[in-house]
Amino acid sequence: MQIFDLEELKLLFEYDPQAPMIFSSGFFLFLFAAFMAIYVAAAKRDNLRIVYVILFSYYFYYKSSGIYFLALLFVTCSDFILAQKMSRNKDLAIRKLLLTASIAINLGLLFYFKYTNFFYEIYCDLSKNDFDPFDIFLPVGISFFTFQSMSYTIDVYRQKLEPLDKIQDYAFYVSFFPQLVAGPIVRARDFIPQIRQPLFVSEEMFGRGVFLIITGLFKKAVISDYISINFVDRIFDNPALYSGVENLFGVYGYALQIYCDFSGYSDMAIGIALLLGFRFNINFDSPYKSASITEFWRRWHISLSSWLRDYLYISLGGNRKGKIRTYINLAATMLLGGLWHGASLRFLCWGALHGIALAAHKFLMSIFPQLKSTGAEMKPPARIVGMILTFHLVCLSWIFFRADSFELAISMIKQIFTFFHAELLPGLLESYPAVFVLMSIGFAMHFTPAKIEKSCEQIVIRLPLLWKAAALAGTIALVMQVKSSEIQAFIYFQF
């Protein structure tokens, strides 16, 4: 009797672009269980454990992007060497040259893979030539690991960080699989000190890790995927076919979808890291509770917003060069943040809307200093109004972020403002009962007070190991019941 099917075994080591490795797949969950068995066995042998995790991380990335794992290897080697040379050289001009080389390598890779066709299309439009895009594959997560690696060399240049002596430690930091393909963007100064600490996973870390994996899996594979396939995608594919009220709820659905998708991934990444003995900073903090756009960006994708603040906004001058320059720097930072997400007019519009909103909010705070800068300390009535306004401003920007083209985004906005037909709402709710039940659950989870969420986390932490396993198995079984036949990759895989 043949125990192993050679074809199935072969699939383990082949890259399949139609089935990238993702946390919410049954294949990954099975593989991770096998990985953990060896990881625990190597717990007290630091070098073996580090090399083992690096190899698994590269395998994980290969299963996500194929041969383009070599781009990850190239960035790792080049930035490790450049940081070493930077620390050994006291000449400021040479240090700047080495930093420039690091930035050029990282941004050069980003430019080639993400922006070549964008600028080539602009060139073709200006020269009135036919646009025939180059066949360029976008490696999964390239924006994340290049930004993470750049932050390391910039911090070494600023002398805020001592460079690593061992390349395997740096490779571990850059390639660590829980956050490799969609963040969070982990700072070297936060992560590197943990690499060679004695491996220890407390009961609190293990329980919190399981809780985050369960909630992340539920948000991504149950809520986000279901409402995407069965409602949101249909609306955004052709908004002109639907009334304004249907388009509006399609936008609300997408606001929840992208939150559940991305925060779900972050929850699972943080949870998996905790099971491995590593702590990541929180990446989402109930962003739709924000009462101002400034507060929103302190709660949404925190690792990216803080990266843009520390390495772009401050480098442009921040708020040190007068009010007008501050507003320009805010707008420029968010415009470039939009371009980071994608090379198209709609992403630039998304970034521009947020940049203008941030600048406008800062301007209003200068006129009305009695108002708090973030909205976090507003009294309840004002805070509720602020939350509603901020949520709808963010939703407006999501239209440009999600629509397949700028024209479709404008079409959706026109439908909402000129063809609303509120009387169709009851029929809409009747047509998509499961979608709206899941949307209600998703928003309820999001707006659950932090104290209640913490209490639920503590309940999971105190559960016996067998009950923790049962809770995780139950979540996986639920995912299997509602998942579609095709793998739904995480939204931020495309960035």
DSSP 76-89: HHHHHHHHHHHHH-
- 300 inside domain: no
Per the domain annotation, does 424 fall within a domain?
Answer: yes
Whole-model pTM over 0.85:
yes
Question: Based on the domain organization, do 485 and 471 belong to the same domain?
Answer: yes
State whether 113 and 156 are in the same domain. Answer: yes
Q: List CB contacts of 279: < 8 A, sequence separation 6 or more.
A: 194, 205, 273
Last residue of a domain, one of 200, 229, 245: 200
- Token reading at 51: 């090399």
**Which pLDDT score is estimated for 1?**
42
Q: Are residues 211 and 102 in the same domain?
A: no
Round to whole Å and give the CA distance between 461 and 490.
27
In a domain, 231, yes or no: yes
Same domain, residue pair 143 and 181: yes
Q: Is residue 364 part of a domain?
A: no
Last residue of a domain, one of 165, 200, 235: 200
- Round to the nearest angstrom and report the end-to-end CA distance of the chain: 46
Q: Are residues 400 and 485 in the same domain?
A: yes
Residue 305 backbone zone (phi > 0: left; psi -120 to 50: alpha; other: beta): alpha
Vertex 25: Cα angle to 21 and 28 (nearest 5): 60
Cα(348)–Cα(117) distance, integer angstroms:
16
Is residue 331, in this structure, part of any structural domain at all? no
Buried b (16+ CB within 10 A) or exposed e, 169-184: bbbbbbbbbbbbbbbb
pLDDT tens, position by position, 394-427: 999 999 999 988 999 999 999 999 999 999 999 9
Question: Where are the alpha helices (H) located in 176-322, listed in sequence order?
Answer: 188-195, 203-217, 225-227, 233-237, 244-275, 293-296, 302-308
> Based on the domain organization, do 241 and 185 belong to the same domain?
no
Question: What is the number of domains present in the chain?
Answer: 2
**pLDDT tens-digit profile of 229-283?**
999 999 999 999 999 999 999 999 999 999 999 999 899 999 999 999 999 988 9
Q: What tokens were used for 110? A: 């980003």
Same domain, 190 and 280: no
Taking the C-alpha atoms of residue 209 and residue 232, their distance in angstroms, rounded to an integer, is 30
Residue bearing tokens 């407390």:
202
Residues 254, 191, single domain; the answer is no
For 59-76, b where at least 16 C-beta lie within 10 A, e where not — what string? bbbbbbbbebbebbeebb
Indicate the DSSP class of residue 473: H
pLDDT-above-90 percentage for the chain: 48
Last residue of a domain, one of 200, 221, 242: 200
Is residue 3 a part of any domain in this protein? no
Q: Are residues 235 and 130 in the same domain?
A: no
Query: How does pLDDT run across 319-371, given as a tens digit for each residue?
Result: 787 788 888 888 999 988 888 887 788 999 999 999 999 999 888 888 876 56
Active site residues: 341
The answer to whether residue 5 scores a pLDDT higher than 60 is: no
Q: Is residue 2 part of a domain?
A: no
Residue 51, domain member (yes or no): yes
* pLDDT band at residue 4 using 50, 70 and 90 as cut-offs: very low
User: Do 142 and 231 have their domain in common?
Assistant: no
Same domain, 121 and 257: no
107 closest CA partner among 176, 64, 154, 158: 154
Same domain, 270 and 126: no
Q: Which domain holds residue 84?
A: 16-200
